[in-house]
Structure 1
């Protein structure tokens, strides 16, 4: 039987293009000066304008103290101004580090203290952080208009870091992944997993703190194409559909969850795409087959890759004839990428057998920010390379190579999971809960008992005398200050004791089994009936179908395990079933069916919209879970 050492399917581990992001972008700007580089509802910018405005801001940033290798934090949303800011940071030799306010102030503070940035660029108000200069991006762009439009001459190298993105950690402390210029270039220049050219018009709806944004932004820009920016902090199926149609978008990336929602609810909106990439979690074969049937002129690509290897490691362009039985493969290494399938002792495994996917090549990150021990543990010397400097990233993902050469994802052997495209360490969630002052112990599991829907379930054992009525709310509130929204348990159970298995360890299997049995047994008990057969009844039926259980009209849907992706799906289904038109924010603002119905009955649609807008920050945080990127912290599998 053949032994897998290095996979080189297609262009595989071929040499990646050279150069830095600013160098390539400058060449594009000279070649296509009047072409539109980015578009949004609020305006557009040409490549020439992007080039000279980012040159001006880069000069101002240098005056602010940004040196080569210095980190600049971006606390901004998707916008043309942010694109200018990102480009300027790179031109100044800096490293952009996007953070999201939905992470919670404690998590943001921790990341900033980790990074020790030279500057923080914000969209609105400053953060309560001492000792680090903060400036509004809009003000800086205005001030930069006095600077020269000529580029700086800094002699930047492709090996220099370009950005830092944070992923979850098993200890509850997120880790910053440091990605160099060459890794971005390897991803998007001469790409072999999709066509990127001046004709590319690509949707940018991923959050900046999710590395899908690397593809969405630099893929078009470094090839003379156009970025179409969705600036809404809270997205809906309607908004995505409108944007795809209005700007004639022909390429888009969705998390697996959002892809499933789009295929179920608005497949017509995808008809203009020539390339549809999906990933961040395991794709549903049924949804892929349906998309293939509905989109005969669209290439559908399953993209896999950890943040540590810059967005994609492997891709699979789904053949029209199908892929056979089983899961959709993750495919083959993309250009500039080495993939080895190795045993736990880093020995090659025979084709067809499970082994750990180990990634190398030009897309590899430099390591973890200020975490040398963790970097040494996860980024190891490649024992099978002739190059003594070659390294491998140990993904922790187990795969096998099929008889046709395609790689198939098999799962993980640790407690890392994916929720809406976001990499979550369940042990990290447990660790954070165990540090809560009112808890004696805690256990966390992932439940997939509701079809495609995944939910994190936490079992909490209170300290003696601390089992008050508001215990759950307080624990969750404190947890939200430490962890991304995707890591917050959607189901909480208070227990007297955590059961142990015969080895004396927490029996998480029993906890989950008992939970599911109890929910099935008591699922219909004590539920408030709907008063009529109007909107409330329709909404109740829709939510019962989405959650796979009866729904109490009084219950908070998030407490029942509803996800932000399900909110998007419910929004689309309610509008279709009732004929009402309302923003998806209304569902987030009124998360019980009774409250939502009462607001529809007792207030005008305009007042509902105003009420929803007043809750903007809370809704943005909740919606961050929906994208993986409609917001995400990392991208993996």
Structure 2
């Protein structure tokens, strides 16, 4: 256990920062909380997908039918179950089905390479999966038992992954009367059990599996300080289900009796997004920083009808924030920050105005039942001093699956002012401003966030270096004048067959699309600085 040095000034500042305790149902599982909503709001609309609308009763019946099918393949209690499906009511019901059976869901994307899918399932010791027809998991993962989400004789889900809207009017399994409900499974689940697992990029080339407990989800969405969540809430489900923002979008609605509106297409079109937001009277939307900036640049009217706009995932452009304030006014925009290991959001900052001396938008203060500490060299920092952000509270993951070394590196127990805290070391640097908010100051390592996805440059470099056509590689992040970030890979070829297309094709078989560099530049060699390191500025200055 680390004993942190503290001063009275530092301790008082952090005490004020961390007055976040609020009552929440920390002893109930997500499935219990959802079933309570079914009892209270049975005829209220739970899920919307195009013209399809399912009430809480219908969604619960659909989830129970899928759960029965899953249980027919054996008990799921304490097991991790893969879920691979397009955005649809069946996807949401599948997540619920796994939780109802006492399992934890592992969401994966059908567009990921087969080798990556197999590696993730093996790492999570996942031997059972729910999949729709488009996922074709039986052929792709022969060692995994695949349980079809669709019932025999129901919808023929032959549309492409991109064409989710094309099946929205076809008959599917929720068309069975809600009375055709086998009932809630008898499985019991504790609040400490794992509810889901997300994978994040790992610096060694091996992704890290982050398990999240039921209690952590409840901590995220109950008594929320960053927005208002209740039965009148209408949340847009826009993020890939493999991205932890989906935790807020789905459970923020379905654990309060609100409505979860599924964006009907695989790719965002601003005109369609505006139509959905207006038509469904969406109250809350989460947007990654990059998407938020693009909307402001190209179609700011898209968000005019939304009551609360949450945005985060990367450092914000003050120019875009200023434009958003001018367009949408104060009290509608909130910046949110948080690593996957702390269950989606850890801090929030309502953007009401920009200070004249502001050079970075604050990440704000901790959300409910979350604590943040700024620490440097074993000492709790006083206001104005920059250090690493440590997070604590019931939102923390219990640690990485099957990775004790990574867990020991990122999670620790500290004592400060007589209080013992289990903390997550974020690797982010910040300072506590004079008005009591945290201001982000960059990373301790080379981990970056692009379009909301956390990426270790080392993992991308690992796969580049493994490419037979590549002799050396180096990966950088560039930023255009609008603040848009992208990965750029510099490659020294092993032979003449090393072309950008060949390298990109190699990576496509091993990495998801968001981790493949947007540019691959061929170089004869890498310029070095005086210290013998790759001169990044010189690399970029050489042009394409």
TM-score normalised by length of structure 1 = 0.76
Partner Cα distance (1:385, 1:106) in 2: 48
- The answer as to whether partners of 1:201 and 1:249 remain within 8 angstroms in 2 is yes
**Which aligned pairs between 1:497-512 and structure 2 lie closer than 5 A?**
497-512=525-540
* Residues 396-417 of structure 1 deviation map (CA, whole Å, 9 limit, x = unaligned): 0001110000111110121111
The match for 1:71 is 80
Decide which of 312, 319, 330 is 1:279's aligned counterpart: 312
Decide which of 410, 416, 425 is 1:378's aligned counterpart: 410
Matched, 1:130 2:142: yes
* Residues 342-370 of structure 1 deviation map (CA, whole Å, 9 limit, x = unaligned): 11x33211211111011110100121122
The match for 1:47 is 56
Q: How many angstroms does 1:230 deviate by?
A: 1.0
**Which aligned pairs between 1:202-601 and structure 2 lie closer than 5 A?**
202-296=235-329, 299-320=332-353, 325-343=358-376, 345-384=377-416, 390-463=421-494, 466-468=495-497, 471-515=499-543
SS at match of 2:33: helix
Structure 1: 4+ residue segments shifted above 6 A: 140-147
Q: How many angstroms does 1:458 deviate by?
A: 1.3
More helix by share: 1
SS at match of 1:444: strand
Partner Cα distance (1:213, 1:323) in 2: 35
Partner Cα distance (1:323, 1:194) in 2: 26
- The answer as to whether partners of 2:386 and 2:430 remain within 8 angstroms in 1 is yes
The match for 2:158 is none
Change (3 A) 1:171 1:108: same
Partner Cα distance (2:17, 2:419) in 1: 20
Change (3 A) 1:102 1:88: same
Unaligned regions of 5+ residues in structure 1, if any? Answer: 520-637
Change (3 A) 1:118 1:360: same
The match for 2:195 is 162
The match for 1:546 is none
Unaligned regions of 5+ residues in structure 2, if any? Answer: 1-6, 155-172
* Residues 383-404 of structure 1 deviation map (CA, whole Å, 9 limit, x = unaligned): 337565x411111000111000
The match for 1:102 is 111
Decide which of 195, 198, 215 is 1:182's aligned counterpart: 215
Matched, 1:121 2:130: yes
Partner Cα distance (1:171, 1:40) in 2: 39
Change (3 A) 1:269 1:67: same
- The answer as to whether partners of 2:310 and 2:333 remain within 8 angstroms in 1 is yes
Change (3 A) 1:55 1:268: same
Q: What is the RMSD computed on CA atoms of the aligned residues?
A: 2.3
Partner Cα distance (2:16, 2:463) in 1: 41
Partner Cα distance (2:355, 2:71) in 1: 53
Partner Cα distance (1:140, 1:20) in 2: 31
The match for 1:555 is none
Q: How many angstroms does 1:52 deviate by?
A: 2.8
Partner Cα distance (1:352, 1:114) in 2: 42
Change (3 A) 1:23 1:450: same
The match for 1:3 is 10
Partner Cα distance (1:59, 1:384) in 2: 49
SS at match of 2:490: strand
Partner Cα distance (2:289, 2:130) in 1: 31
TM-score normalised by length of structure 2 = 0.89
The match for 1:570 is none
Count the aligned residue pairs.
511
Change (3 A) 1:119 1:97: same
Partner Cα distance (1:362, 1:7) in 2: 18
- The answer as to whether partners of 1:277 and 1:300 remain within 8 angstroms in 2 is yes
Q: How many angstroms does 1:310 deviate by?
A: 0.5
